[in-house]
A and B are shown apart, each in its own frame.
Chain A
């Protein structure tokens, strides 16, 4: 039986007749939670968010309530809230759906968050490649301003806050929160070093700033609706609430699916929810949390203990969809972008494809990342072109080990984890490729690089 989705964020979004204008949103109960929020004081809202145990949906999974708690409220400087809508992690496509089909849900979540954090001005940083998304958000904000949900003296509460839609210009690194802040300040998006530049203390214009993902902010509305305590009972400890999993690659029904934390396993997601592999094909590998997450090999077994001490012995299909289980098997749920690969895939080509991405997107600030990402691309690409050298497999592994932990931001890890995991888990394939003297022609005739 196909496990039923638990749609909370996606509740109305694909219903026939549901449109992205404010009238439709209000007909579906929209902005009632903003009204409710104004009957509470900001500290109460922050407390509810903390109780909910909501973890950030952008990739790192940091508890949202704790992020808000770090906010320096005594500095006397203005506080800013930024919605990170720079959705760029390969394999991830959930924010696009929310922005295009239900922008007011995001705006309501944002305004509740803004009120709770004492924000003076809010921003939505949206990637350049979502031009229609930016227009939809601009229009939605105008509608919300006209109805007094955004702007001055919102709903007579005495609280005022506006939202500015700010468009990026094609750089993945702007999804890193301190890089995003630099970009918003009108500079090159070079990530800042932490400490001291924790955004909650020294963020935009060196003022206290909260940066939250689109899906995270939408969740705020639902936390207000049911209360933090009840919210924390959805899902499992460590993965409360629902999460939108984006599945792409070689499954029959790719798409975005919302489930409570830990409600189903990776096997159920792939074989039941997504209809399984194409006829005659077998699963070869899965990248579970956006392209930066370490790859899982279909025939691996994972044994160990979870954080609470429970022993586990899983095959790839048995891994529950939550934060901690993916950590326990040596990867991460990251941005929940699941990329599925069947047995037609040439793993060296797949890695070369990702390495080309990271080499293009490294901001160039830190030498190990700037040089290393380029060399990983060069080496993996020449392996696909029949120009490999005998030492290339070890060279790839060695470069990847020299980047991790030696950069200002997590891009260093993000770009080295694919190479580390592909090479160690598919060593025989890389070794075979290193002795080939012709360009790869397999992969079912489908080039990946």
Chain B
């Protein structure tokens, strides 16, 4: 595996924290996805070897947890909460607006691989819906003005590598 030195450092630091090595599989998958942008077959085998478990024990997690991806995702991930309270505040319409403005459809990244929009289930901020996450950044009370600002920010950061999925070395 061609991992960034800081990823390897985090991996080595987290494993001994747990009483049982296997418990470190979720953190390792998180670090791996942050480093590589997705979880490859090679990554699953590497993690399995590291934690002395079978690759299937890693694969079954990658296929279960919605957050992990087996294919490279777009550089920016926009998550729009669609569950009831946000829907009551207009999140379906917001999602349509974002798709139009960012020129992509739900679940399908833009042609340049820059942005992907998906619906998320309840993001636990129901009192200030609709809510949106752009990568790790959180936005609530997203009205038209705020949506336009989010779109402008994403466009202005296009190609700047804030969430560069490819390893540097």
Contact = CB atoms under 8 A, between A and B. Distances in A.
A255 B128 CA distance: 8
Contact of B88 (A96, A172, A360, A448): A448
A448 B29 contact: no
B127 A256 contact: yes
Interface stretch (B78-86, B104-112, B148-156, B157-165): B78-86
A205 B19 contact: yes
A420 interface: no
B127 A247 contact: yes
Interface string A249-261: 1100011100000
A357 B83 contact: yes
Contacts of A287: 84
A357 B119 CA distance: 11
A129 B85 contact: no
Contact of B90 (A341, A350, A446): A446
Given A167-B26, A448-B88, A248 B127 contact: yes
Interface in B50-102: 51, 53, 57, 60-61, 64-68, 79, 82-85, 87-88, 90, 92-93
B118 to A, nearest CB: 11
A46 interface: no
Which residue of A89, A205, A353 has the most chain B CB atoms within 10 A of its CB atom? A353
Contact of A167 (B30, B84, B128): B30
A446 B92 contact: yes
A447 B92 contact: yes
Contact of A91 (B23, B120, B126): B126
Contact of A185 (B22, B27, B79, B121): B22
A246 interface: yes
A233 B163 CA distance: 52
Given A95-B124, A353-B82, A166 B27 contact: yes
B130 to A, nearest CB: 11
Contact of A78 (B19, B53, B82, B136): B19
Size band of the interface chain B makes with A: 35 or more
Nearest to B14: A164
Contacts of B88: 248-250, 339, 341, 345, 350, 446, 448
Given A170-B65, A357-B122, A90 B85 contact: yes
Interface string A438-449: 000000001111
Contact of B26 (A186, A247, A448): A186
Contacts of A250: 88
A131 B137 CA distance: 9
A132 B138 contact: yes
A81 B151 CA distance: 42
Contacts of B29: 169
Interface in A90-106: 90-93, 95-96
Nearest to A351: B84
Contacts of A350: 84, 88
Contacts of B61: 169, 186-188
Contacts of A167: 26-27, 30
A289 interface: no
A317 B82 CA distance: 28
Contact of A90 (B17, B67, B126): B126
A189 B67 CA distance: 14
A176 interface: no
Interface in B8-26: 17-20, 22-26
Contacts of A90: 83-85, 121-122, 126
A335 to B, nearest CB: 10
B60 A188 contact: yes
B24 A186 contact: yes
B3 interface: no
B152 to A, nearest CB: 22
A280 to B, nearest CB: 17
B147 interface: no
A131 B67 CA distance: 12
Given A169-B29, A186-B23, A188-B64, A129 B133 contact: yes
Contacts of A130: 124
A171 B133 CA distance: 17
A370 interface: no
A246 B127 contact: yes
Contacts of B85: 90-91, 248-249, 339
Interface string A59-98: 0000000000000000000100000000111111101100
Interface in A327-348: 337, 339, 341, 345
Which residue of A96, A186, A360 has the most chain B CB atoms within 10 A of its CB atom? A186
A231 B65 CA distance: 40
A345 B84 CA distance: 11
Contacts of A449: 87, 92
B122 A88 contact: yes
17 contacts: A87-B124, A93-B126, A129-B79, A129-B123, A166-B23, A169-B26, A171-B66, A186-B57, A188-B60, A248-B129, A250-B88, A254-B127, A356-B82, A357-B83, A360-B121, A363-B64, A448-B84
* Chain A to chain B: the 5 pairs with minimum beta-carbon distance, closest first: A169-B65, A248-B126, A248-B85, A186-B22, A170-B67
Given A96-B125, A248-B88, 6 more contacts: A170-B65, A205-B19, A255-B127, A337-B126, A446-B92, A448-B84
